Chain A
Amino acid sequence: MSVKQALLALLEQGPMYGYQLRAEFEQRTGSTWPLNVGQVYTTLARLERDGLVEGTGTDGEGHVGYRVTDAGRGEVSAWFTTPVSRAQPPRDELAIKLALAVTVPGVDVGAVIQRQRSATMAAMQDYTRLKQRAGGHDRGHRHEQGAELAWSMVLDSLVFAAEAEIRWLDHCESRLRRAALEPRTAVTVAQPAQARGEEQVR
């Protein structure tokens, strides 16, 4: 995740110190990607070294503030105008797990799929509840409203990703069933479990 660009983008609002940056980041994204304050400070130090931010001195309570430089602004605007690359997709544990499950002997792929689908559905139910709650208090300060919209969009992203995963699992399940019925399949796949408490269909 691009902590560097996210912090630079937040600093476009005005100078802030580490704890403020962390709070602003989490207000927009929930605790989906928690930042620890140490990570914030090491990132700020690196940004300062690279001339993208500069210190504004220490306030009365000993907080070291930072503001974005012109070079930093350029970096933020380049970030916003460049699409996120999909050339190197992040490692997907589930895809890897299923790819291995269909090829490693003795794994009940159907059961793997079913268990994952339940877990993903349960997570999606949680996101949906959070979203209802986030949408529940629309009134308030403009700034808070913006942050709620941001958080609600992050939740939508989680919901849509979970939905895609479930659709993919459904798709894998029906492919496995078809493969199991097809007599000349190269790979031997374990029969997907038909049902809880039902005997497996041959």
Chain B
Amino acid sequence: MSAPVAGEGSHVMTQVLHLDGVTRIHGEGATEVHALRRVSFSAHAGELIAVMGPSGSGKSTLLTLAGGLDSPTSGTVSVEGCDLAALGNAGRARMRRTSIGYVFQDFNLIPALTAAENVALPRELDGAGRLDARRAALEALREVGIDDLADRFPDEMSGGQQQRVAISRAIVGDRRLILADEPTGALDTDTGEEILALLRARCDAGAAGVLVTHEARHAAWADRVVFLRDGVVVDETGADRVEALLEEGLPG
């Protein structure tokens, strides 16, 4: 179920996520906190971007804004060319079901549903029939190598297996933007690496990924690393390579 868009090395770079001058202020007046200040960056199809920074640097705020779970105080967030603010609540909810997959540190699976049912849920909410949704779920589970566990419940699986289910849920229906918030935080080193390899593979197959992490070793799986300090992008690695790709890749 790989997207029809070629990834790294191709001559087409499709912008999947774009943040333009995004500022997010919590509170007002004396108590106001600038969680993000004029942050701009893009994630293209085929690209995995890591966002690093200490606690309180704005990493998670950035991810909730990218996922349309929160709105910026100023600036715009666009997913697949649509300004999320212009979509309205219903439009954003639809966007989250069809284009954006979210992977959490603690998996966030529904305990009363099997692996396949958890993965099928976003498809069903989007109006797919039961059988279609299950077929898509099995395909997504196969992609992460655990289709044999489709009918197990979360508490019958290891942490690594549960996170694989969560990744399947994030990619089911061919969603093109994967947002991962410390997805390896609850896993041991080796299992964490397997999860990163899966994210990497999904991006290599054409998705755009944003990985929030405070671990440099995990960020190293990304094509680009964005460093946040106090809500400001202080540095970026790998940008030159991507800009070079863009220059040769973008028409006009």
* Chain A residues proximal to chain B, CB less than 8 Å: 114, 117-118, 120-122, 124-125, 127-128, 132, 159-160, 162-163, 166-167, 170, 174, 193-196, 198
What is the CB-to-nearest-CB distance from A71 to chain B, in angstroms, rounded to a whole number?
40
Q: Report the bound CA distance from A174 to B55 in whole Å.
A: 12
Give bound CA distance, A193 to B197, whole Å.
34
A132-B197, A162-B216, A163-B217 known; A121 vs B237 contact (CB < 8 Å): yes
Residues from chain A with a CB closer than 8 A to the CB of B233 are: 195-196
Interface residues of B, count at CB 8 A: 22
Selected contact of B220 from candidates A159, A167, A194, CB within 8 Å: A159
| Known A159-B217, A160-B217, A167-B216: A125·B232 in contact at CB below 8 Å | no
- Check B232 against A194 for contact (C-beta < 8 Å): yes
Residue of A with least CB distance to B228: A195
B211 → chain A closest CB, angstroms: 13
Check if B234 sits within 8 Å of A128, measured CB to CB: no
In the complex, which residues of chain B have a beta carbon less than 8 angstroms from the beta carbon of A128?
220-221
Q: Mark B208-241, 1 if CB is under 8 A from A, else 0.
A: 0000000111011111010101101111111000
Closest to A162 in B: B216
> A125-B225, A195-B229 in contact; A132/B220 too (CB < 8 A)?
no
Q: Using CB atoms, name the residue of chain A closest to B219.
A: A121
CA distance A167 to B221 in the complex (A): 17
Q: B237 contacts which of A122, A127, A170 (Cβ < 8 Å)?
A: A122
Complex Cα–Cα for A124 and B54 (A): 19
19 A-B pairs (CB sep. < 8 Å): A118-B235, A118-B237, A121-B216, A121-B225, A121-B237, A124-B216, A124-B220, A125-B225, A125-B237, A128-B220, A128-B221, A163-B215, A167-B216, A194-B232, A194-B234, A195-B232, A196-B233, A196-B234, A198-B232
Residue of B220, B227, B236 touching A125 (CB-CB under 8 A): B220
State whether the Cβ of B200 lies closer than 8 Å to any Cβ in chain A: yes
Which residues on B sit within 8 Å (CB–CB) of A160?
217
- B7, chain A: closest CB distance, angstroms: 14
CB–CB A114/B237 < 8 A: no
Chain A neighbourhood of B227, CB < 8 A: 117
B220→A121 contact, CB < 8 A = yes
A114 and B235 within 8 A (CB): yes
Closest to B200 in A: A132
Please give me the 7 A-B residue pairs with the lowest Cβ-Cβ distance, nearest first. Answer: A124-B220, A166-B216, A128-B220, A195-B232, A163-B217, A195-B234, A163-B216
Using Cβ atoms and an 8 Å threshold, which residues of chain A touch B222?
Answer: 125
The residue that A117 contacts in the complex, of B215, B217, B235, with Cβ under 8 A, is B235
Known: A163-B216, A194-B230, A198-B232. 12 other contacts (CB 8 A): A120-B216, A121-B219, A122-B238, A125-B223, A125-B225, A127-B220, A160-B217, A174-B54, A193-B234, A194-B229, A196-B234, A196-B235
Closest to A166 in B: B216
Min C-beta distance of A135 to chain B, whole Å: 8
Q: Which residues on A sit within 8 Å (CB–CB) of B217?
A: 124, 159-160, 163
Q: Which residue of B lies closest to A123 (CB)?
A: B220
Q: Which residues of B contact A117 (CB under 8 A)?
A: 227, 235
